């Protein structure tokens, strides 16, 4: 099976957002934190990317004070609550090849720890060493507990109403792991897949440190050139003994060490 792994280059990737209201619209950007994609046999596609909700920028407001006030409001609990939920995620759950360079995609979008399915199309231009992925996701903010001035929850809003849907125009540039390895001499790239069980930052850091120490000890590799990626898998997406982990947990199964 021909499998190719790609890592998103966050600096070269962009997300442009557009939000609309009765009296007009606002637009800006939001940053990509990281992402990975896997192509199998040139057709099957899986992957995930992470959005940094603390990086929202507004491009259509030139006055610095007004711009800062708006940015702070978007970061507040009325919208993304970025301090409590600094990351949002999109994970591909199913793909079907369509026309050349086009896929029909089903995925899970998570904002403020609330997950809902999203259907979209994904354009991919891929070479051996790079992949450029483009898509547009239309988000109904009210599904993610973003209710501010929504007609679903408030009446008599008049021209202060903000429409529920906003657009994310996504442009991701990814590089093949093999290509990155050529750029940095024999760089170990280790992928760890674990169940999503509220691993905090300290626990993840400890896991990364221990794996790096093992690679240094056993393989004699420079820890500064060792890359470790932790992918957290939802219970519904992990199977064991013929059942989803979520089902096994309902039956009393535990992943805790005994």
DSSP structural state of residue 80: T
User: Is 188 a known active-site residue?
Assistant: yes
The partner residues of 171 in beta bridges, in order of sequence, read 14, 134
How many Å apart are CA 206 and CA 201, to the nearest integer? 9
Backbone angles phi, psi at 247, to 5 degrees: -70, -40
> How many helices (DSSP H) and strands (DSSP E) are in the chain?
4, 13
Backbone angles phi, psi at 38, to 5 degrees: -125, 125
What separation in angstroms does the CA of 199 have from each of 6, 81, 116, 196, 214? 24, 20, 21, 7, 21
Neighbour count for residue 112 (Cβ, 10 Å): 18
Angle, CA of 96, 176 and 183, to the nearest 5°: 175
Non-local CB neighbours of 122 within 8 Å, separated by 6+ positions? 45, 95, 102, 103, 104, 105, 133, 134, 135
Burial label for 258, CB within 10 Å (0-12, 13-18, 19+), is: exposed
Catalytic residue, candidates 86, 97, 188, 223: 188
Four-residue CA torsion sign, 18, 172, 53, 91: positive
Catalogue the active-site residues.
188
């Amino acid at each position: 099976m021909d499998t190719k792994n790609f890592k998103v280059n966050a600096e070269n990737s962009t997300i442009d957002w557009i939000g609309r209201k009765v009296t007009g619209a606002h637009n800006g950007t939001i940053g990509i934190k990281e992402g990975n994609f896997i192509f199998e046999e040139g057709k099957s596609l899986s992957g995930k990317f992470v959005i940094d909700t603390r990086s929202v920028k507004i491009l259509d407001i030139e006055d610095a004070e007004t711009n800062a006030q708006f940015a702070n409001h978007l970061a507040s609990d009325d919208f993304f609550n970025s301090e409590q939920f600094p990351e949002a995620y999109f994970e591909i759950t199913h793909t079907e090849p369509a026309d050349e360079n086009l896929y029909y995609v089903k995925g899970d979008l998570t904002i403020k720890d609330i997950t809902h399915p999203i259907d979209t199309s994904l354009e991919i231009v891929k070479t051996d060493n790079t992949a450029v992925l483009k898509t547009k996701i239309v988000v109904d903010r009210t599904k993610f507990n973003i209710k501010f001035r929504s007609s679903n929850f408030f009446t008599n809003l008049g021209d202060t109403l903000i429409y529920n849907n906003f657009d994310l125009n996504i442009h991701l540039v990814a590089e093949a792991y093999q290509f990155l390895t050529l750029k940095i001499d024999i760089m170990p790239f280790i992928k760890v897949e674990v169940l999503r069980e509220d691993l905090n930052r300290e626990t993840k850091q400890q896991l990364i440190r221990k794996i790096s120490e093992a690679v240094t000890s056993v393989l004699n590799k420079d820890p500064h050139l060792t890359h470790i990626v932790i992918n957290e898998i939802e219970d519904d997406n992990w199977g064991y003994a013929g059942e989803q982990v979520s089902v096994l947990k309902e039956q009393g199964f535990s992943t805790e060490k005994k």
